[in-house]
Structure 1
Amino acid sequence: MDMKLELIPLPVSDVSRSKGFSVDALDFPLDHDVEPGNGMRIVEVTPPGSACSTAFGTGMTRPDAGPVHGIHLVVDDIAAVRRGLRARGVDIGAIRDLDGVAYASFSDPDGNTWELPSLRGPRVS
């Protein structure tokens, strides 16, 4: 039996701000920005090279949902990705070595936390 993770809904407080962060700062391609009716708006973006998308919008998550922590975006060259994100204004932490896997992390405007693990590349910076 196959099971494919294809979409992670994220709680956000401002759909337009989250879209701007995802598309402009993270450079995620915009897949959809639709308003199906009844005041709903759904935005879907997919990290480059990923088979799993993230989506956010009005009516997608419970109003009392807290942030999602530890979303992993696996990268090959963590130093280059970190430089690119910093250049686009993302407040990303230093690269740290956790038992041979390099990590750097950041938060989106709603406190959802993202980890960038890499098996290759520099271990510290």
Structure 2
Amino acid sequence: MHWTLEVVVVPVSDIDRAEDFYSRKLGFVVDHDVVIGDGSRIVQLTPPGSGCSVVIGSAEFAKMTPGSLQGLQLVVPDIQKAHAELVSRGVEVSDVQVLGENRREVPDPLDNVGFVFFSDPDGNGWAVQQISSRP
């Protein structure tokens, strides 16, 4: 049996502001923007090429404090290009950082160990890691 992770709930305080950040600044695709039975609104967005989406909604929907989710991670084949794209979209992102040392030969010295970090407007923390080849 295959188990797939397809949705992560991200707690936000302002749905419109978060939708703008994730869609316009990060380039996530808006899959759904719906009002559910009790009048709460949820928005599902998917990073290009990802099989996993994020869902944003009110704090009551998420049952988490806005900004409390840390350690979300995206993977890209080229961290330098990802960094440049985030900067060009106006995202406050860290410089490329090397975390660790590859113990096997890799085609690019940043593979597996190259990262950048940013937060959404509520402070939910994201990492972006370069993985351009897998064993």
Compute the displacement of 1:83 (Å). Answer: 0.7
Q: Secondary structure at the match of 1:45?
A: strand
Is 1:119 equivalent to 2:131 in the alignment?
yes
Pairing 1:1-125 to 2, within 5 Å after superposition: 1-58=1-58, 59-62=60-63, 64=65, 67-98=68-99, 99-100=101-102, 101-120=113-132
2:82 partner amino acid = V
Deviation track 1:30-55 (CA, whole Å, cap 9, x = no partner) reads: 10111123221010000111100000
Measure the CA separation in 2 of the matches of 1:11 and 1:24: 18
Partner of 1:123: none
The runs of 5 or more residues in structure 1 that have no matched partner are 121-125
The whole-number CA distance in structure 1 between the counterparts of 2:64 and 2:49 is 31
- Identity, in percent, stands at 41
Q: How far off is 1:77 after superposition?
A: 1.0
Count of aligned residue pairs for this structure pair = 120
Letter of the 1:93 partner, please give it: S
Map Cα deviations across residues 2-36 of structure 1 (whole Å, 9 max, x no partner).
Answer: 22100000110000000000000001011011112
For the pair shown, the structure with the greater C-alpha radius of gyration is: 2
**Secondary structure in structure 2 of the residue aligned to 1:60:** helix
- Tell me the TM-score normalized by structure 2: 0.83
- The superposition leaves residues 53-95 of structure 1 with CA deviations (integer Å, 9 ceiling, x where unpaired) of 0001124211546511111100011111111111111000010
Cα distance in 1 between the residues matched to 2:28 and 2:93: 16
Cα separation, partners in 2 of 1:93 and 1:63, compared to 1, 3 Å: closer
Q: What is the RMSD of the two structures over their aligned residues, measured on CA atoms?
A: 1.5
- Unmatched runs of 5 consecutive residues or more in structure 2: 103-112
